[in-house]
Amino acid sequence: MQTQVGIVGAGPAGLMLSHILHLNGIDSVVIENRSRDYIEKRVRAGVLEHGAMDLINAVGVGERMMKEGMVHHGINLRFDTETHRIDFGKLTGRDIIVYGQQEVVKDLVARRLEDGGQILFETSDASLHDIDTDSPKIRFRHNGENFELKCDLIAGCDGFHGISRPSIPEDVLTVHDHTFPFGWLGILAEAEPSSEELIYASHERGFALHSMRSPTVVRNYIQCEPDEDINNWPDQKIWDELQKRMETREGFSLNEGKIFEKGVTPMRGFVVEPMQYGNLFLAGDSAHIVPPTGAKGMNLALGDVKVLADAITSNYREGSRDKLDNYSRKCVVRVWRAQHFSWWMTSMLHPFNQHDKYQRQLQLSQLRYVATSQAAATSLAENYVGMLWEE
């Protein structure tokens, strides 16, 4: 088999890259170790920045997003049993949209297949070869047969646990890794959202987040131990804890419903530099992980492939590798901005030690400042809606 660009991973990054390359007349093949059904049902991120929304619309796959997605013009910070709204529209003139990652994946898969794109699902034993040469290869098994895919370039969009990053020699990469001393216990439940916009609650018992995936499905989180045993959290205990952490003086109450998914997510920040080696280019979670407090994961992935697609197109149309050679250098500026914002949001909202009253007062002071200062609120807002998509 032969193609111009081999893409490992059929998540938002890999699928979007394949689609943009197709629009620019560049061939690609996507290999994915999971089934189509699995990736289309895998619930992950749900918040799209203004620039991500614009990108999806610009490449012609945003019709369903605009019909079914929920546009939000702000978020709510809740502390000391009071709610303070951060108005994105007023502060930045931009907004966000809540549209699940699995829905973005569904739209991109459907479009790639409609356009005759090659997505090979349920591959196994994949490995990368000769990535530091002009003829990199991907070897894998599919439908019981061995294949070798010869490429000009390879895009590693296969996530944190994929094969792409480990294919780069260890002495080439600088790894930046930080693990937070807590996790998020997350649930999906059949319930009507209790707020029109997300609620970030900082409570002395721990952080909580009220989000949504549709008008009938909510996504809620509570801060917990990173190694929390989910069996210690029956459904009613989860709802009781959420209600306590979301309480207000006015008597706010979350809508409860049947929980159909629950799990614990560890909190970490992770970046490797450079995001490329030879003719292998990393994008999305294969190169960086952010704590989900800042809602940046899927947005960073889409931002990476926007830059990468432009660089690949320049390579073929203009015969210049300048943009390819500068791919990592350009991306990491945005990656570190998102890392800092996610760290800042996480540090401001999560009690690190519930017995440290001094640190708790510092957090409350920061929250009051953001809630009452237009300058501070604007900083939060422009980072949340995405401030570097225009570059």
Q: Which of 136, 193, 291, 292 is catalytic?
A: 292
Query: Cβ contacts of residue 278 below 8 Å, gap of 6+?
Result: 131, 132, 133, 136
142 is catalytic: no
DSSP letter string over 189-235?
Answer: EES--SSSS-EEEEETTEEEEEEEEETTEEEEEEEE-TT--GGG--H
277 is catalytic: no
Q: Which of 50, 106, 203, 296 is catalytic?
A: 296
Give the span between the Cα atoms of 200 and 345, in whole angstroms. 10
- The amino acid at residue 70 is M
Pairing of strands 145-150, 137-142: antiparallel
Q: Which of 99, 277, 327, 384 is catalytic?
A: 384
Q: Which of 12, 19, 50, 72 is catalytic?
A: 72
Check residue 31 and give left, alpha or beta (phi > 0: left; psi -120 to 50: alpha).
beta
Pick the closest to residue 9 from 304, 263, 316, 335 (CA basis): 304
Q: Which of 99, 200, 221, 327 is catalytic?
A: 200
Query: Cβ contacts of residue 60 below 8 Å, gap of 6+?
Result: 23, 111
72 is catalytic: yes
> What positions carry a catalytic annotation?
72, 200, 292, 296, 384
